[in-house]
Amino acid sequence: MPWRQLKLCLRGHELEAAEALLWERGALAVSSSDAGADDPGLNNTVQPLFELEPGDAPLWDRLRLSALFSFEAELVGLCRELRSVFPDSAPKIETLAEKQWERVWLEDFHPMQFGERLWVCPSGHAPPDPAAVNLMLDPGLAFGTGTHPTTAMCLNRLAGISPEGLSVIDYGCGSGILAIAAALLGAWPVFAVDHDARALAACRENRSRNDLTETRVMAVSPERLPALQVDLLFANILAEPLLELRERLSALIRPGGTIVLSGILEEQTEQLREAYNERFDLEPAIVEGEWALLAGRRKSGV
């Protein structure tokens, strides 16, 4: 299936705002690389100068930004919007075959560390620390490589709580990155839930790539999720479905269990807090750029 790639050129200080706009308009993946201070175009072959920690902004004076969209995405209007906000961005639309995008993705996806012992590495790349917990990932075209701030915040949260022995649901699993990371860190049982068959297929492939069996990570549609309550639930989706799924998600967590909500903008946190506050003792939001994460423990008796 073909895909659309949108490429533009920016000043370094414009990156955060441009990335946020692309994610809000439905980008499936976004990557950046050095475009060269003297080259405002996008025709030269460029290479990233260094690897960034999640949420960091590059120090390049001028950079190339590439975003992947579904073939059906309406990008002409988005290009007009980008030109109005970033007058020198010169956005261009390209059509990519699936194999072409895989090559682009492999060029831009590098090993990333979360916490002290979790690494997310592209498949085929030697892990920087063989003794660490190494998650080998090929996300295909499903959301979730660890590069987006919301995924990075969830991974840092997961790596920081030592989920060994906990039951976990990754609701809206995409590539399965959170479910697989939880299993590699010792959680069991783990359920990866998504309504998109392509996401579930990518999750199952990544599960096999990390030598995990179906009994360790069960990839299922919401309709096939067993009736259960777990210790820890991640829902890294968007604010609107998080509001719509409040009753469903709350019912899946045992009293004293933890919910982690992400995929939301900082300005949406109060609305989510009001919606979930009745059943959860919510912590202060964690914010990375314009994105936020809310977490809290399930109250007893409600």
- Alpha helices (H) along the chain: 15-24, 76-85, 98-108, 149-161, 177-184, 197-209, 239-244, 246-251, 269-276
Q: What is the pLDDT of residue 13?
A: 80
Q: How many whole angstroms separate alpha carbon 267 and alpha carbon 73?
A: 25
Q: List per-residue pLDDT tens for the chain, 302 residues long.
A: 577 889 999 887 888 888 889 988 888 777 776 665 344 443 333 333 333 333 334 445 678 888 888 888 889 999 999 999 999 889 999 887 655 544 554 555 678 899 999 999 887 778 889 999 999 986 554 455 566 788 899 999 999 988 999 999 999 998 899 999 999 999 999 999 998 887 888 899 899 999 999 999 999 999 999 999 999 999 998 899 999 999 999 999 999 999 999 989 999 999 999 999 999 999 999 999 889 999 999 999 88
Q: What is the dihedral sign for C-alpha 162, 178, 212, 134? A: negative
Q: What is the pLDDT of residue 3?
A: 79
Q: What is the pLDDT of residue 30?
A: 76
The tens digit of pLDDT for each residue in 174-211 reads: 889 999 999 999 999 999 999 888 788 889 989 999 99
3-state secondary structure of 3: strand
Write the single-letter amino acid at 183. A
Q: How many whole angstroms separate alpha carbon 103 and alpha carbon 210?
A: 21
**pTM passes above 0.75:** no
Q: What is the pLDDT of residue 62?
A: 76
Q: What is the pLDDT of residue 40?
A: 40
| Domains detected in the chain | 3-107 (3.30.70.120), 111-298 (3.40.50.150)
Q: What is the pLDDT of residue 248?
A: 96
Q: What is the pLDDT of residue 197?
A: 81
Task: Find the radius of gyration of the CA atoms of the chain.
Answer: 19
